[in-house]
C-alpha cells in the first residue's frame, strides 16, 4: 500500500496544488459541519471516509503501461509532451517520442518515486486529432471600445478582425487602421480585368489574401494608384480568371507614350510593369485607396429599457462580464467552430469561418451540446455572500468562471450574478469537498469527482452513507430571462410546420443533427447538406424527449456511438460508472417522475400552431 507522502505527492501533480485533502484532519471537517448528534456524527465520519477513498483511485494507477499505449507525461515543465513506453520488462519505462493523434488507449502518464509508470485512462475517441492552437483571438478596440474577433490568416500569418452585430447575427469587418493589418498591393492576387462602360475604363478583379474576398479596383495612370470600387453590375466569374503567370490587363496613357501592364508574379502577387518606348521598369508599390466599411448601429437591450427589474439587471450585467466569443474544435464536423451568445435571439449560435471565401456561416452541431449540464461545471471554491453560499465554478462551454447557488428543493444549481463578488484564483480549493450544508433536513456535500467536475451527494439514513444525487438541469441566467411571448407566423405553404419553440429551449429546431460536413463549401452547398441531414434525421427528431434529463441521455448515446467509453468511479460500491445517474439524467424522486408525465401531457400544447386548437 502506498504511504501518505507518496499519495500527497501524486495528488499534487494531478491537482496542480501544493496541498492535499489527505492532510486535512477529521476534526477540521467536524468544525465545518458543527452537528453534534450521533446520526450526524456518523454522517461526518462517512464524509471523512469518502475523502480517504481517493486512495483507491491512486492504487488503480499503480500499474504498468499497457503494451502499445500512448501516454502523455504531465509535469511542471511540460504539460503536453507525448511519450511512448519502452520495451522494459514491466512496460513501465517511458521514452520521449513524437506527438501523434489521440487514440482510445490514450492516458495521462506519471512516474512515481520508484521510477515506475502510472497511467490514467482517458475518455477519448479514436480518430480525434491532437488539439491545435486556435485560429481565433479576441480583443477590444481602444478607439471604438468594440469587442473584436480576430481570425489568423494561414497564408499571411496576420489576424483580420471582425465585430458581431447581435440584431443581424452576422460578423462584419472592423474598419480601423490601428487594429487591422495594412493591405498592400502585394496582398492582392490579380485574377482578370474587364471593361466597365460606366467608369469607361477597365476594372481589375483581385483576390485579397488577408480578407479572402474578391475585390474590384480601378487603376490611375497618372498616379499609379489602385482605388477600390464597388460595381454590383459586374459579377465575378471564375471562368474568366487568367491561368498561371500572365499579363492580367494593359493600361495606356492619354498621350499613348506610356503603357502599364498589371501581371501576376511568380508568388501570385500583383506587379505593375511600366513600358516607355524601349525602357521597361517595375513600378514601386503605392498605398491602396480602399472603401470604408459603413458603420452599423446596434441598439443594446439595456439601453431600450431604462427601468429594469433586478433579474434584468443581473442578466445584462452577466452578459457584459461573460466571454463574448468561444472557439473550439468540433470533432463531429472536423472544423474549428465559434460560438457566441446572441443577445437578441437569446441563445448560443455556432459559426464556421470559410477562409477561402472570408465569410462566417452558421454551422450548428447538435452533438456538441452548447447548453451546459451539471457535468460541465468544474467547481473552484464556495464563498458566503449576502447570506448565501455561492459556488464559483468554471463552465466548460464558456471557459468562464461563473456563480451558482444550490437549490435544496429542486436539488439543482442555479446561476446567479453578484457584481461585487469576483473570482479569486488564490481561493481555489485543493480539497475534494467544496461545500457542506443542510438542505431540507438532509446533510449535503458539493464536491469534485474523479475528473474534477461537480458532484452532489446527500447522506442517506437508510443506507447509512452518502449517495449520489441524480443530475438536474442547470438553471442559467440566460434561461431565467424570458421575453414576452409573441405570436408566431406560420407560412402558408407549410401549414403543418410547428410553432417556433421558446428561446430557452435546449433542443431548438434550428439546431440540426449534422454527422459530417465537407471541409470545403461551395455556394448553396451548406443549405443542401443541412436540408439532407434534417430529412435523414426526421425520424430521430420526432422521438425527441421533452425532459432535460432525457436530452442529456441522448448526448451520452451520441457519444457512445463515437466510441467514447465511460470511466468507472473508484468511489462507487456497486461498480457503476462515474456519475452515471447524473450523466444519463435518471430521476430518482417521484417528483421528477411526475414532472416527466406532466411534460408528456403538455407535449401537444408546446408544439401547437398559433391560431389552431
Q: Give the model's pLDDT for residue 319.
A: 54
- Window from 242-256, 380-394, 399-413 with minimum mean pLDDT: 242-256
Q: Give the model's pLDDT for residue 441.
A: 82
Q: Is the domain of 269 the same as that of 204?
A: yes
Strongest mean pLDDT among 186-190, 251-255, 326-330, 346-350? 186-190
- Residues 15-50: tens digit of each pLDDT: 433 333 334 444 444 444 444 444 544 555 555 454
Q: In the numeric block, which cell numbers belong to residue 49?
A: 471516509
- Residues 266-315: tens digit of each pLDDT: 888 898 999 887 888 889 889 999 887 665 554 333 333 344 455 555 55
Task: Give the DSSP letter string of 317-345.
Answer: HHHHHS-SEEEEEETTTTEEEEEEEETTT
Q: Is the domain of 189 the same as that of 260?
A: yes
Q: Is the domain of 47 the same as that of 67?
A: no
Is residue 87 included in any domain, yes or no? yes
How is residue 374 annotated by DSSP? G
**CA of 534: how far to CAs of 362, 469, 543, in Å?**
15, 36, 14
Is residue 236 included in any domain, yes or no? yes
Range of the domain at 83: 63-121
pLDDT band at 217 (very low <50, low <70, confident <90, very high): very high
Q: Decide which of 282, 309, 332 is a domain's last residue.
A: 282
Q: Is the domain of 227 the same as that of 269?
A: yes
- Residues 558-603: tens digit of each pLDDT: 434 333 333 333 333 333 333 333 333 333 333 333 444 444 444 4
Q: Is the domain of 38 the same as that of 92?
A: no
Q: Give the model's pLDDT for residue 225.
A: 92
Q: Give the model's pLDDT for residue 371.
A: 61
| Rounded average pLDDT over 85-98 | 31
Q: Is the domain of 225 the same as that of 273?
A: yes
Residues 25 and 11: their CA atoms lie apart, in Å, by 17
Q: Is the domain of 214 the same as that of 272?
A: yes
Q: Give the model's pLDDT for residue 389.
A: 92
CB 214 within 8 A of CB 207: yes
- Residues 404-447: tens digit of each pLDDT: 999 888 888 988 888 888 889 899 988 888 988 888 888 888 98
Is residue 347 included in any domain, yes or no? no
Report the domain count for the chain. 3
Whether the pLDDT of residue 514 is over 50: the answer is no
Task: Give the DSSP letter string of 403-414.
Answer: EEEEETTTTEEE
Is residue 436 included in any domain, yes or no? no
Q: Decide which of 20, 38, 55 is a domain's last residue.
A: 55
Is residue 320 included in any domain, yes or no? no
Tell me how far the alpha carbon of residue 116 is from its chain's centroid.
37
Q: Is the domain of 195 the same as that of 244?
A: yes
Q: Is the domain of 37 the same as that of 87?
A: no
Residues in the chain, overall count: 613
Q: Is the domain of 188 the same as that of 278?
A: yes
Is residue 603 included in any domain, yes or no? no
Q: Decide which of 14, 29, 55 is a domain's last residue.
A: 55
Is residue 588 included in any domain, yes or no? no
Q: In the numeric block, which cell numbers belong to residue 477?
A: 441566467
Q: Is the domain of 98 the same as that of 44?
A: no
| Rounded average pLDDT over 141-146 | 80
Q: Is the domain of 232 the same as that of 277?
A: yes
Is residue 369 included in any domain, yes or no? no
Amino acid at each position: 500500500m502506498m504511504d501518505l507522502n507518496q499519495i500527497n505527492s501524486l495528488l499534487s501533480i494531478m491537482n496542480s496544488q501544493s496541498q492535499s485533502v489527505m492532510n486535512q484532519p477529521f476534526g477540521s471537517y467536524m468544525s465545518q459541519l458543527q452537528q453534534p448528534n450521533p446520526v450526524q456524527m456518523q454522517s461526518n465520519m462517512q464524509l471523512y471516509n469518502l475523502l480517504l477513498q481517493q486512495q483507491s483511485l491512486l492504487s488503480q494507477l499503480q500499474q504498468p503501461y499497457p503494451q502499445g499505449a500512448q501516454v502523455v507525461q504531465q509535469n511542471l515543465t511540460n504539460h503536453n509532451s507525448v511519450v511512448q513506453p519502452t520495451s522494459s520488462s514491466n512496460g513501465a519505462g517511458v521514452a520521449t517520442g513524437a506527438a501523434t493523434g489521440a487514440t482510445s488507449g490514450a492516458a495521462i502518464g506519471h512516474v512515481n518515486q520508484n521510477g515506475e509508470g502510472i497511467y490514467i485512462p482517458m475518455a477519448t475517441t479514436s480518430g480525434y486529432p491532437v488539439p491545435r492552437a486556435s485560429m481565433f483571438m479576441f480583443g477590444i478596440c481602444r478607439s471604438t471600445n468594440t469587442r473584436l474577433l480576430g481570425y489568423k490568416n494561414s497564408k499571411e500569418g496576420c489576424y483580420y478582425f471582425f465585430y458581431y452585430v447581435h440584431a443581424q447575427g452576422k460578423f462584419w469587418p472592423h474598419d480601423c487602421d490601428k487594429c487591422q493589418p495594412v493591405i498592400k498591393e502585394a496582398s492582392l492576387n490579380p485574377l482578370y480585368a474587364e471593361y466597365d462602360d460606366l467608369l469607361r475604363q477597365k476594372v481589375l478583379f483581385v483576390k485579397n489574401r488577408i480578407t479572402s474576398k474578391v475585390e474590384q479596383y480601378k487603376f490611375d495612370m497618372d498616379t499609379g494608384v489602385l482605388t477600390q470600387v464597388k460595381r454590383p453590375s459586374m459579377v465575378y466569374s471564375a471562368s474568366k480568371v487568367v491561368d498561371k503567370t500572365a499579363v492580367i490587363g494593359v493600361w495606356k496613357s492619354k498621350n499613348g507614350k506610356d503603357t502599364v501592364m498589371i501581371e501576376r508574379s511568380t508568388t501570385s502577387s500583383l506587379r505593375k510593369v511600366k513600358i516607355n518606348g524601349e525602357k521597361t521598369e517595375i513600378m514601386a508599390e503605392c498605398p491602396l485607396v480602399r472603401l470604408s466599411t459603413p458603420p452599423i448601429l446596434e441598439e443594446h437591450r439595456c439601453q431600450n429599457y431604462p427601468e429594469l427589474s433586478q433579474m434584468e439587471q443581473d442578466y445584462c450585467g452577466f452578459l457584459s462580464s461573460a466571454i463574448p466569443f468561444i472557439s473550439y474544435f468540433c470533432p463531429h464536423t472536423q472544423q474549428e467552430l465559434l460560438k457566441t451568445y446572441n443577445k437578441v435571439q437569446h441563445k448560443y449560435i455556432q459559426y464556421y469561418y470559410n477562409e477561402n471565401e472570408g465569410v462566417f456561416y452558421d454551422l450548428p452541431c447538435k452533438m456538441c451540446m452548447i447548453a451546459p449540464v451539471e457535468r460541465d461545471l468544474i467547481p473552484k471554491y464556495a464563498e458566503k455572500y449576502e447570506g448565501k453560499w455561492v459556488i464559483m465554478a468554471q463552465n466548460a462551454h464558456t471557459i468562464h468562471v461563473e456563480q451558482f447557488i444550490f437549490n435544496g428543493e429542486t436539488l439543482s444549481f442555479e446561476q446567479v450574478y453578484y457584481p461585487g463578488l469576483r473570482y479569486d484564483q488564490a481561493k481555489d480549493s485543493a480539497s475534494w469537498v467544496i461545500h457542506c450544508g443542510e438542505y431540507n433536513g438532509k446533510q449535503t456535500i458539493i464536491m469534485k469527482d474523479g475528473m474534477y467536475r461537480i458532484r452532489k451527494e446527500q447522506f442517506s439514513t437508510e443506507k447509512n452513507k452518502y449517495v449520489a444525487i441524480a443530475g438536474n438541469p442547470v438553471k442559467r441566467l440566460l434561461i431565467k430571462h424570458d421575453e414576452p411571448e409573441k405570436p408566431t407566423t406560420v407560412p402558408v405553404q407549410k401549414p403543418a410546420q410547428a410553432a417556433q419553440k421558446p428561446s430557452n429551449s435546449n433542443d431548438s429546431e434550428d439546431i440540426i443533427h449534422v454527422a459530417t460536413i465537407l471541409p470545403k463549401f461551395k455556394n448553396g452547398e451548406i443549405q443542401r447538406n443541412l436540408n439532407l441531414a434534417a430529412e435523414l434525421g426526421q425520424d430521430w427528431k420526432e422521438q425527441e424527449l421533452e425532459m432535460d434529463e432525457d436530452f442529456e441521455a441522448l448526448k451520452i448515446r451520441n457519444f457512445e456511438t463515437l466510441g467514447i467509453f465511460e470511466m468507472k468511479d473508484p468511489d462507487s460500491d456497486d461498480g457503476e460508472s462515474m456519475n452515471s445517474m447524473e450523466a444519463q439524467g435518471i430521476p430518482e424522486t417521484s417528483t421528477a417522475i411526475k414532472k416527466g408525465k406532466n411534460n408528456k401531457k403538455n407535449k401537444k400544447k408546446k408544439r401547437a400552431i398559433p391560431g389552431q386548437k
